[in-house]
Amino acid sequence: MTEKTSLWGGRFSGGPADALARLSVSVQFDWRLAPYDIAGSRAHARVLAAAGLLDPDELGQMLAALDDLEAACASGEFRPTIDDEDVHTALERGLLERLGTLGGKLRAGRSRNDQVATDLRLYLRDHARGLAVALVELADALTEQAALNVNTAAPGMTHLQHAQPVTFGHWLLAHVQPLLRDLERLRDWDSRAAISPLGSGALAGSSLPLDPAAVAKELGFTAPAPNSMDAVADRDFVAEFLFVTALIGVHLSRLGEEVVLWTSTEFGWVELDDAFATGSSIMPQKKNADIAELARGKSGRLIGGLVTVLTMLKGLPLTYDRDMQEDKEPAFDAIETLGLLLPALAGMISTMTVRVDRLAAATPVGFSLATEVADWLVRRGVPFREAHEITGQLVALCSVRGCELEDLTDDDLKTVSGHLDPSVRNVLTVESALASRTTPGSTGPGPVADQLATVQHKLDSWRQWAVEKVVPR
């Protein structure tokens, strides 16, 4: 029977109480860091050898044992036990089983404090790329639908009331823009997270002649940490990562809310594919946008993870404190949550059917062409303040009569203002309203086609970044 492995205890006369052991154990959730811990161990073994603390034969044995341990972890042959406090304890047990006392030499010059900080950075940097892939897939789905609806008229809204005509392609691309910013935030975050804590030890560095720069380079970091105390105390990279994921959650929630509205009986603008909708256990007619609703709901979970870590960090003295054990589960949960949500949303968007006829019928309703009249008056030299008043009087007249602007007679126009004449009818169509929007970034078919090309080009560049390998294998 293998002797229980512990990374501490020399000064203690007995083991921890069961209550303490149960509270301290983290291997049930930090086991996923095992591949990254092993990668760090390989790099550390090489710098120990470079420092003359492992001879070439010992280094060869150490690297072979780490390779074997990694394969055993991947296959499930080696697993943590109830006696393993954390991933580091479990892996040291595995190494000692393979190397005996030689395995204990790997402990020199490092601490769980710099190990876990390194492992978590490696894990999050690696999985940030996976999130980027999923974000690109959702953006692709929105972009493909936008390409089909460059000329599809829709009633643009403010305050959830009809405002001005837009193209539905423009609307869909409006949801792509925040995803592009999310991708930029992930890459920007990664540049700050690419600092290696390994070599900082518990907090003071090491008296052994190690080479943190060599370790950093091998592990795909840009540089070693400049301050050993900050290196083991810093969890900015976790909090910032959780801010990015929380903001992604907010963006997905806003998209989800719109899909819920678009698919309602009152709107009826979009029909979801049966594979991406659910029914009711009692009402046979129901077709529910559950994915969109879950996108709204899970945003709270992602925001909660950020609040958890910020609250945990706010009162901690330097350097490492056990409170920091609470940094991992919110980060792991954010990755898992988005890993489920993003593909589901991408599938829902890519397979939905846009009801062009319903959108076209809804676009002019609610006096959405009123601004066109005001702009027409401005082009004729009427100050906008006056043009606004005149157009408001037209809307008031229509409201009394229960008609739309285009239903007013020539006499009605003249009665409201001498500035109005029958030629104003040229702007009282959805087609003319959309065609007049020609400035960059506006909703006309031309600018939307330009925006579409720009977005597609940006997504191609993000595809390349998202598949880059962070941790050398």
In the chain (473 residues long), the average pLDDT of successive 10-residue segments reads: 55 72 85 97 97 98 98 97 92 97 96 97 96 97 98 97 97 98 97 97 96 96 98 98 98 98 97 95 92 97 98 96 95 98 98 98 95 96 97 96 92 95 95 95 96 96 84 59
Contacts 24+ apart (CB under 8 A), 457-466: 458/180, 459/136, 459/139, 459/140, 459/143, 459/180, 462/132, 462/135, 462/136, 462/180, 462/183, 463/133, 463/136, 465/129, 465/132, 465/183, 465/187, 466/129, 466/130, 466/132, 466/133, 466/136
Identity of the residue numbered 325: Q
3-state secondary structure the chain: CCCCCCCCCCCCCCCCCHHHHHHHCCHHHHHHHHHHHHHHHHHHHHHHHHCCCCCHHHHHHHHHHHHHHHHHHHHCCCCCCCCCCCHHHHHHHHHHHHHHHHHHHHHCCCCHHHHHHHHHHHHHHHHHHHHHHHHHHHHHHHHHHHHHCCCCEEEEEECCEEEEEEEHHHHHHHHHHHHHHHHHHHHHHHHHHCEECCCCCCCCCCCCCCCHHHHHHHCCCCEECCCHHHHHHCCHHHHHHHHHHHHHHHHHHHHHHHHHHHCCCCCCCEECCHHHCECCCCCCCCCECHHHHHHHHHHHHHHHHHHHHHHHHCCCCCCCCHHHHHHHHHHHHHHHHHHHHHHHHHHHHHHCEECHHHHHHHCCCCCCCHHHHHHHHHHCCCCHHHHHHHHHHHHHHHHHHCCCHHHCCHHHHHHHCCCCCHHHHHHCCHHHHHHCCCCCCCCCHHHHHHHHHHHHHHHHHHHHHHCCCCCCC
302 with 244: CB under 8 angstroms? no
Structure tokens at 170: 């423009």
Residue pair 198/40 in contact (Cβ under 8 Å)? The answer is yes
The pLDDT score that the predictor gives to residue 275 is: 97
Separation CA 214–CA 46 (nearest Å):
9
Q: Which domains does the chain have, with CATH numbers?
A: 18-108 (1.10.275.10), 120-210+226-362+451-466 (1.20.200.10), 370-428 (1.10.40.30)
- Classify burial at 446, counting beta carbons within 10 Å of its beta carbon; exposed 0-12, middle 13-18, buried 19 or more: middle
Nearest by Cα to 359 from 169, 89, 179: 169
Query: Which value, in Å, is the radius of gyration of the alpha carbons in the chain?
Result: 30
- Antiparallel, parallel or unpaired: β 195-196 and 270-271: unpaired
> What's residue 25's pLDDT?
85
Question: Which residues, listed in sequence order, are joined to residue 224 by a DSSP beta bridge?
Answer: 196
- In this predicted structure, what is the pLDDT of residue 1? 38
Contacts of 155 (CB under 8 A, 6+ apart): 162, 163, 165, 166, 359, 362, 363, 364, 365, 366, 368
Distance CA 10, CA 237 (A): 33
Q: Quick one: pLDDT at residue 473?
A: 54
Q: What is the rounded CA–CA span in Å between residue 41 and residue 118?
A: 11
Six-digit token string for 263: 């698919």
Please report the pLDDT score of residue 395 as a whole number. 96
**CA torsion through residues 18, 99, 114, 227, sign:** positive
Amino acid sitting at position 134? A
d(CA 398, CA 208): 85
Among the listed residues 44, 170, 253, 280, the single catalytic one is: 280
Catalytic residue, candidates 159, 191, 281, 457: 159
- Axis-axis angle for helices 34-50, 87-99 (nearest 10): 60
CA dihedral 9→11→16→17, nearest 10 degrees, is: 170
How many CB atoms neighbour CB 381 within 10 A? 8
41 is catalytic: no
Tell me whether residue 170 is one of the annotated catalytic residues.
Answer: no
